[in-house]
Chain A
Amino acid sequence: MDEAKIKSICRIAGKKAEDLSEFFADVQRSLVLKSIHTSLNPLFLMDACESCYIDLERHKDFHGLDIADRHKRAAFLFKWLARKRPINLSAYKQGPGAGLAIHVNAYFALMAALGELDINVHKFAPTKISQNIIYAASYRDINAESWALTFCLLEKVFPI
Chain B
Amino acid sequence: MAKSDGAYPVIDLSGDTVEKRERALKAIVDDPYTLTCMAARLQNTDTPADGKKEMRRRKEALKAFSEISPEFWDMNDGRSEN
Contacts and interface: CB of A to CB of B under 8 A. Distances in A.
Interface of A: 8-9, 11-12, 15-16, 19, 22-23, 26-27, 30, 33-34, 53, 60, 66-70, 73, 95-100, 103, 107, 110-112, 114-118, 121-122, 124-126, 130-132, 134-136, 139-140
Interface of B: 36, 39-40, 42-47, 49, 51, 54-55, 57-76, 78, 81-82
Nearest to B54: A115
Contacts of A69: 46
A22 B55 contact: yes
Q: Which of B47, B57, B61, B78 has the most CB of A within 10 A?
A: B61
Nearest to B60: A121
A144 B61 CA distance: 21
Given A22-B55, A73-B45, A132-B82, A34 B70 contact: yes
